[in-house]
Structure 1
């Protein structure tokens, strides 16, 4: 297969995997927290939080990318602060691609985890609390083991979504070969040049294979974890 893809295409694939992995890993704790808050807590602004979480699914991806650019760009409100105080630059970097991909995939992650939490009987958590367990301990020992299949499914779905992210990413970090060019960006580049359709089609099949593998892995891991929890 090494002869099937060019070095640039391998770099685009490797960067996509890297970006998707970090987008999933960094957003996972926030996804669990937000999903738990939406499923269990009642507080002012809850519906607003729910709307903000799902907003990337509704907005055109290029709008999300533009908002990231004016917020986390080197002259943005947050971006300038990160650059001045910590030397962190996200715009036109692979880390910015991970941020964009993570934001676009976040709603799918939160929804999968939230559904898992809502399926847990709150009386089980209340029973543990009456025995003197703190809320964090109840979550770690009671809730988390039962929602683990949903957490795994949400994480892998977010990874698959991040792999296919294009609009927000190219708006925020551009399409720089070897630096920010992910698999979708490489496909787009091939489609802009005469005779590039064959190369684009090859990468399309790679993208389909990776996405299907992620979905199948999500199903398999989710079922395996559920069986283990049920058997335990």
Structure 2
């Protein structure tokens, strides 16, 4: 595992080095053959892999160019329900789970040519799971963990993930208006689990999951995070 993380860090560092060299050499006369298809027009995005995440979402976004054509802002939003999760065990274990996922990204393009454009990005991720579960809830508790008895009740649980990533990627032309955006990145993330309707200390911990999959209230992390994927994009406006 340490070797994998080391090689990923080396790869990301190499990407940043290339970016710095290209930014230094950038001049307005180095405009790509089709500049409007990547960095001057808004692009609608769809993230297919989000449908295959255990916390599945239908994820869409839009990339908006900034006045300097080398920079853009991308905002994504996604909603998912366990009813259309592709994994049967997820549907069985969490039949009422809802997921919201938001990504806000600032991009800096460093290489643009007729085949596509490379970029470097800083991204903030927020994800929320809302879950209804049957849990053992302590009653008549004198202090945390010291309760007269426990009852099985329906509990509303919220899982909140905050993450920050640095990414490197490339957008390829598939057609005059369609492109493929491939990326990878490294960062940090943490998890907060909270309940509604009763104190967290009243819940009996029956979870044997690792911390990133636990339903036990508490704060977990931060921990290193790796992300990769792709978007399908559709350019808006006049080319």
TM-score range, shorter chain: under 0.3
RCO comparison, higher one (Cα < 8 Å, 6+): 1
Larger radius of gyration: 2
Specify which structure has the higher proportion of strand: 2
The structure carrying a bigger helix percent of its residues is 1
